[in-house]
Amino acid sequence: MARKTKEEQELDKKVPVKKASSKKATTKATSKVSKAKKSDAKKADVKKPVSKTTTTKKAVSKKTASKVDTAKEPVAKETITKKADKKVSTTKKATSKKTASKTVDKKIETKKETNSKKVVKEKTTSKKSSPKAKTTSKTKKTTKKAPSKASAKIIPIDPLEYYDLPYRYNQTVVKVLAQNPNTLFVYWDISDEDRNNFENKYGKDFFYKTRPVLVIHNLTDNYTFEIDINDFANNWYVNVNDTKCKYIVELGRRPNYFEPSAIPVNYLNVAFSNTIEIPNDHILFFKENDRIYFKNIKTNKITEKVFKKENIKNLKGIYKNYNLSEENDRFDFKNPSSQNPTSTLL
């Protein structure tokens, strides 16, 4: 799926949604739990028919812009009637904004210079210049209908922003994080440039005749193992056995099982990750005659002690307070202490 994307999809879309309705939608959305994926924010932000039309992809900006204009009049009415039970102020806002945007449209036509033109301008100029002409001509009609008193006061439009997270950044990257002492989280991406390099070197079907693998290097105990992943994923959770060790993960490619000689080599490196040390998960305890150092943090004086048998009694006296489990070096994490303000606040 990654290979189909051509460039970073970082362009955000500005949606000239009416403030009042969108706000309402946001609070509504946030007040309930929804598991919906990608589209959730879209839904949350845009509930009214107007907004729906405006979120349609920028490719159809022509249509969009004109739709907005034509939809304006009826929707404005709809808001007034629908929100009759809502506060008067919000309705006022909605209407005034409507009229403001109309005035703005008019201005574009005449001057092309106005503070708050950005909505219309960006929308219309995003692809072609022809829609602009259409929009303005349409606007002309609507502005004619608009009550003249509205044009007296121009309220700058604060277009509701809408963003999607960039699908990818087109960089070759492998990053690894430690989820817990036994699980690494790895994510990766391969840039188009690197993909092309592989394809140029090993054939256009390079990514079909090879499979991706993650090679996990334990740098502390000095061993390596490999897991098969697939091209539909861009991240993976990897179980590891040894805690408190340094790991580095390598993204690589191997020929497919059914076509072992499709490429001239048995393994190709794509990229290395950062190095990470996975957390420790047990009490290390001492051996007899281990040296322990103490520091006076005011004077920086360091003193050395040797861990003797008689210290064990003390240590056991201390550590028996922690309800250690049978192995005697781990303790129970069912401590319901782990809270966060947001969990106690709502």
Partner 1 sequence: MKKNTKGYVSFVLHAHLPYVHHPESEDYLEEQWLYEAISECYIPLILSFQKLVDEHVNFRFTMSLTPPLLNMLDSKLLQDRYIKYLEKHIELCEKEIERTKDNDRINRLSHYYFDRYSNDLHIFRDVYNCNLISAFKKFNDLGVLEIIGCGATHGYFPILYVNEKTVRAQIALGVQTYNKYFSKPLKGFWLPECGYVPEADKYLREFGVEYVLVETHGILYADPTPLYGTYAPIVSPDGVVFFGRDLESSRQVWSSINGYPGDFNYREFYRDIGYDAPYDYIKPYVASNGARVSTGIKYHRITGKTENKDIYDIQWAWDSVEKQAGHFFDCRCKQIDYLANNTENPPIIVCPYDAELYGHWWYEGPNWLYTLAKKVYYDDCNFELITPSEYIDKYPDMQISTPCRSSWGAKGYSEVWLNPSNDYIHRHLHTAGDRMCALASSFPNEPENSIKRRILNQCARELVLAQSSDWLFIITNGTMVDYAKKRVKDHIGRFTKFYLWLTEDKNLIENNKLSEDKLNFLKSIEEKDAIFPEIDYTLYC
Of 57-116, which residues contact partner 1 (CB under 8 A)? 87, 115-116
The single residue among 230, 239, 289, 339 that binds partner 1, judged by CB under 8 A, is 339
Q: Is 129 in the site for partner 1 (CB under 8 A)?
A: no
The answer to whether the CB of 184 falls within 8 A of the CB of 278 is yes
Nearer to partner 1, 185 or 198 (CB): 185
Q: Is 342 in the site for partner 1 (CB under 8 A)?
A: yes
The single residue among 112, 130, 169, 256 that binds partner 1, judged by CB under 8 A, is 169
Give all strands of the β-sheet with 173-180 in edge-to-edge order: 173-180, 183-189, 235-239
Radius of gyration for the alpha carbons in the chain, expressed in angstroms and rounded: 31
Residues 302-321 that bind partner 1 (CB under 8 A): 302-303, 311, 314-315, 317-319, 321
Residues 232-251 that bind partner 1 (CB under 8 A): 235, 237, 244
Q: Is 274 in the site for partner 1 (CB under 8 A)?
A: yes
- CA distances to 247, 275, 299 from 279, rounded to whole Å, are 11, 13, 31
The single residue among 5, 294, 308, 325 that binds partner 1, judged by CB under 8 A, is 294
- CA distances to 81, 157, 240 from 244, rounded to whole Å, are 64, 55, 11
For partner 1 (CB under 8 A), the number of binding residues is: 92
Give the separation between CA 160 and CA 25, rounded to whole angstroms: 12
Q: Is 163 in the site for partner 1 (CB under 8 A)?
A: yes
Nearest to 101 by CA among 159, 14, 51, 160: 159
Residues 143-162 that bind partner 1 (CB under 8 A): 156, 158, 161
AA letter at 243: T
Q: Nearest approach, Cβ of 285 to partner 1 (angstroms)?
A: 6
Nearer to partner 1, 130 or 274 (CB): 274
Rounded to the nearest angstrom, the gap between the alpha carbon of residue 343 and the centroid of all alpha carbons in its chain is: 22
The single residue among 74, 128, 137, 164 that binds partner 1, judged by CB under 8 A, is 164
The single residue among 5, 34, 137, 224 that binds partner 1, judged by CB under 8 A, is 34
Count of CA atoms in the C-beta half-sphere (13 A) of 104: 21
The single residue among 7, 226, 228, 277 that binds partner 1, judged by CB under 8 A, is 277
Nearest to 119 by CA among 51, 24, 17, 48: 17
The single residue among 180, 200, 224, 256 that binds partner 1, judged by CB under 8 A, is 180
Q: Is 41 in the site for partner 1 (CB under 8 A)?
A: yes
Nearest to 10 by CA among 190, 170, 164: 164
Give the separation between CA 290 and CA 299, rounded to whole angstroms: 24
Rounded to the nearest angstrom, the gap between the alpha carbon of residue 208 and the centroid of all alpha carbons in its chain is: 28
Which H helix or E strand runs over 63?
Answer: helix 61-82
Q: Is 193 in the site for partner 1 (CB under 8 A)?
A: no
The single residue among 49, 74, 166, 260 that binds partner 1, judged by CB under 8 A, is 166
Backbone phi, psi, residue 236, to 5°: -155, 145
Q: Is 185 in the site for partner 1 (CB under 8 A)?
A: yes
User: Which range in 72-80, 198-206, 261-269, 330-338 contacts partner 1 by CB under 8 A?
Assistant: 330-338
Q: Is 118 in the site for partner 1 (CB under 8 A)?
A: yes
User: Which range in 62-70, 125-133, 142-150, 333-341 contacts partner 1 by CB under 8 A?
Assistant: 333-341
* 305 CB-contact burial (10 Å; exposed 0-12 / middle 13-18 / buried 19+): exposed
Q: Is 44 in the site for partner 1 (CB under 8 A)?
A: yes
The single residue among 5, 280, 325, 328 that binds partner 1, judged by CB under 8 A, is 280
Q: Nearest approach, Cβ of 5 to partner 1 (angstroms)?
A: 14
Nearer to partner 1, 145 or 304 (CB): 304
Strands 210-218 and 246-255: antiparallel
Backbone phi, psi, residue 241, to 5°: -90, -30
Extract the tokens encoding 302.
Answer: 């360091």
